[in-house]
Structure 1
């Protein structure tokens, strides 16, 4: 009873506040900002659990419909998302991956133990050729992560020659022998991963020297030269960005990682389903922390790289919960709910706000692992709420960002955690239309806001809405989906356009008229 009365009181307070100060979203369409790079919507596929094997790769001899081993259903669903880029083979796995293990006849490739993720056999069935087949089927760009931890400058330089070499050499002939005549297009190449942790437990200055040395030997044809990525920091760390943006001339971009844990504690992260509202808000409010991370690191870059030649790549992000009961804890299996959809959309809005530096991000991960787009069994698949959030935001790929300000934004508060009730982003897409993305984070209260573009109210908006009845609503295999996009539109009345946002919702609309 006390909880019900408290909720009612909060509802009344919110309603009175909304009446006292109308919420307004003002978009300045005549002040174009930086372009939101399509790779902000990048994906990540690591050799981890069933993220690749079974989840996407079943082998060419499988009875499951496939194209050269890659599941047709999964690839088709990912193509619908317009996946712009895939990062591979890790992650922590990358610094124990030796590329020669993954070429040649699959039945002759060595079997290793995946020491990072579950201690299970890794038969190297998916290697360089298979990965590039996947990205080419998706129409995506390739981000290859090199092995600095247990590898060497020679190993990485030979891998790049194998992938990109054009002339006649032992390595290019080996690639041709293995079935690929023309070079692979390598768009991005990283020297190591999480050098501060699983990639070698290095200090920033030591890694910077390692990067300088290795990068000196990473040579490719000029027209197939990848953007070179240095392994940066984690969380609120800025010392990695500082060390790598001063005097390391071959750095094109610096990676950074940060995950969202409801409790903030690695030993007990919080449940993926059946969680209280306190963990709903603690999860979503963490995006303010993400914004702080980017702001502090880009300030360092602005000091050391005022011409903005170095990108800041948030190439691992997403929710991380306690593993699904009964699953291998090393497989990082977790449920995906409406909360994850809102978390993704809130991240997008922050990334858009930093589009001048944040030119790539990679959610962890694509299939069956952590905050996945798709969950599968051996014979079926389901699209997660996070998948639908990505689908709603596809118009923002390569769109031109626009200033969007919320006036009288209500505060959403649970216990001692609070955050803005509404988050917004706006951009002019390649199709010429003005798109707006909105998130109402409040788990209980709907919100109404008026939309103003410049000094006028648009005539109408039309798009999609994502919401559900429960905070932990999910789409489960073999059951009716609970979180699916719905049509959303609004018309102006008496020169005023009002958008009604349900509680716990994501809305993306195009402005009409």
Structure 2
């Protein structure tokens, strides 16, 4: 078996990995909200005020840091006043983007903020720039966060909520280059400044405003938005948030086919296995390139980069509504996630938050709910997030890989080992992914700078690269202890099974 070496200086911490890198996304799309989070108070499914109890418990186990809502494309059709007040009086709307279904607005602002409180998660509200108004957005943040007797605070109290909520994150539109208005970036840059001005800080609630950023490789979009900030090199502003907004977003999805035929979630060839992971690895290039553009205008890195949509996008499961984006989630998806998370860790100096798409029943979901039995299934991607919780708010550690095997894919090169690491006080976590579909890999952890007094290794693997969890087989892909870790003169030697994800938790002196 070939050997790769990972050199890690445990005493040289780098930028902190924000827990918000492990954020989630819930859109009014398919069965993400209705049948996923929300079943209603009268449902036979156990719930708290209409919110599924088992979904909340599963996500709390991930220490979910934030949740983005109500979209996505849906956000720029959504008018928040339609989702407040008695549910029987709420107007209906057409969800034109996702299945052309009629939305009854049963799940609105109060239900979402209740969900966030149950989860212990911060709210990331995505505001309507595409079809909304400045006044509408301004009044929403007032409704949510103002404490006195202002008109919107009084309206909130009339609908049953006395105390204001905390809303740390607010998005200025979504995909303004597409479903959010089909705008030119020069148009949107002016709108972003205008809308941001009216998303005010009320009652001590400090809002981190995120402007709708680029898709994929669109560096022009990022550069134009960076040029629209107030001067970022003003010495008098050092250490203060950028203005008038504080971050840009980036969207990137992984699939193996074309936009019209993205490939199957569970029936794929070995070539498609490697193509998916190669395309997932593009995220690191995107973060580097967009980061370089941002560095040119913002060398002090006052502006954050928020990857608020990422993950796999496959053809829908046979027999399901094409507009509901329901797909299975295999071991391949789990390794796509681990590759992304490694990239986010490496770029922790600029990446302040990310949101995988989406949390329940849609795209690369954490959880799947069975509409017939009500069963809840944790996906392989869920388990990667669970295994990585020690990375939350830990300091990144550089991982220097040597003798990494590679494979040529679509004219590029895919390294077959991915890794990242972090340290927090007297503990470190090393994440290791073997992308080889067939061959195991010996990896030596060359651990320097601090004494390692103990270790615990966990592996996520399965017999097949397409293995996935179902209501009948909920643990076909599940974490297990890894016993193939041995002492080595340089630290530890780890045997990585083929197509596997491994974490090694280190106790440090």
Shorter-chain TM-score category?
over 0.9
Q: Which has the higher strand share?
A: 2
Residues 58, 155 of structure 1: CA spacing in aligned structure 2 closer, same or farther, 3 A cutoff? same
Match of 2:423 in 1: 428
Matched, 1:24 2:19: no
- How many residues are treated as equivalent by the alignment? 492
Q: 1:437 aligns with which of 431, 444, 448?
A: 431
Distance in 1, matches of 2:471 and 2:330, equals 13
The alpha-carbon deviation at position 139 of structure 1 amounts to 0.4
The alpha-carbon deviation at position 412 of structure 1 amounts to 3.2
Distance in 2, matches of 1:89 and 1:259, equals 19
Match of 2:238 in 1: none
Matched, 1:167 2:148: yes
Are the equivalent residues in 1 in contact too, given 2:31–2:362 (CA < 8 A)?
A: yes
Unaligned stretches of 5+ residues in structure 2: 230-242
Residues 495, 297 of structure 1: CA spacing in aligned structure 2 closer, same or farther, 3 A cutoff? closer
Structure 1 range deviating more: 458-467 or 280-289: 458-467
Structure 1 range deviating more: 370-379 or 347-356: 370-379
SS in 1 for 2:125: strand
Are the equivalent residues in 2 in contact too, given 1:189–1:229 (CA < 8 A)?
A: yes
The alpha-carbon deviation at position 491 of structure 1 amounts to 3.1
Map 1:313-328 onto structure 2 (within 5 A).
Answer: 313-328=306-321
Residues 103, 480 of structure 1: CA spacing in aligned structure 2 closer, same or farther, 3 A cutoff? closer
Deviations 1:170-206 (A, max 9, x none): 2111100111101111110111100000000111111
Structure 1 range deviating more: 216-225 or 356-365: 216-225
The alpha-carbon deviation at position 392 of structure 1 amounts to 0.7
Are the equivalent residues in 2 in contact too, given 1:244–1:251 (CA < 8 A)?
A: no
The alpha-carbon deviation at position 222 of structure 1 amounts to 5.8
Unaligned stretches of 5+ residues in structure 1: 1-14
The alpha-carbon deviation at position 251 of structure 1 amounts to 1.9
Structure 1 range deviating more: 453-462 or 365-374: 453-462
Residues 27, 114 of structure 1: CA spacing in aligned structure 2 closer, same or farther, 3 A cutoff? same
Deviations 1:41-77 (A, max 9, x none): 0000000000010111001121211001100111100
Distance in 1, matches of 2:441 and 2:255, equals 27
Q: 2:251 aligns with which of 249, 257, 267?
A: 257
TM-score w.r.t. the length of structure 2 is: 0.94
Match of 1:75 in 2: 56
Matched, 1:293 2:286: yes
Distance in 1, matches of 2:359 and 2:109, equals 18
Distance in 1, matches of 2:115 and 2:421, equals 32
Map 1:14-413 onto structure 2 (within 5 A).
Answer: 15=1, 18=2, 22-221=3-202, 223-248=204-229, 249-263=243-257, 265-378=258-371, 379-413=374-408
Are the equivalent residues in 2 in contact too, given 1:43–1:366 (CA < 8 A)?
A: yes
Structure 1 range deviating more: 320-329 or 407-416: 407-416
TM-score w.r.t. the length of structure 1 is: 0.93
The alpha-carbon deviation at position 455 of structure 1 amounts to 6.7
Structure 1 range deviating more: 51-60 or 486-495: 486-495
Q: Tell me how large the CA RMSD over aligned residues is.
A: 1.5
Are the equivalent residues in 1 in contact too, given 2:378–2:474 (CA < 8 A)?
A: no
Q: 1:497 aligns with which of 485, 492, 499?
A: 492
Structure 1 range deviating more: 335-344 or 457-466: 457-466
Are the equivalent residues in 2 in contact too, given 1:412–1:441 (CA < 8 A)?
A: no
Distance in 2, matches of 1:33 and 1:497, equals 22
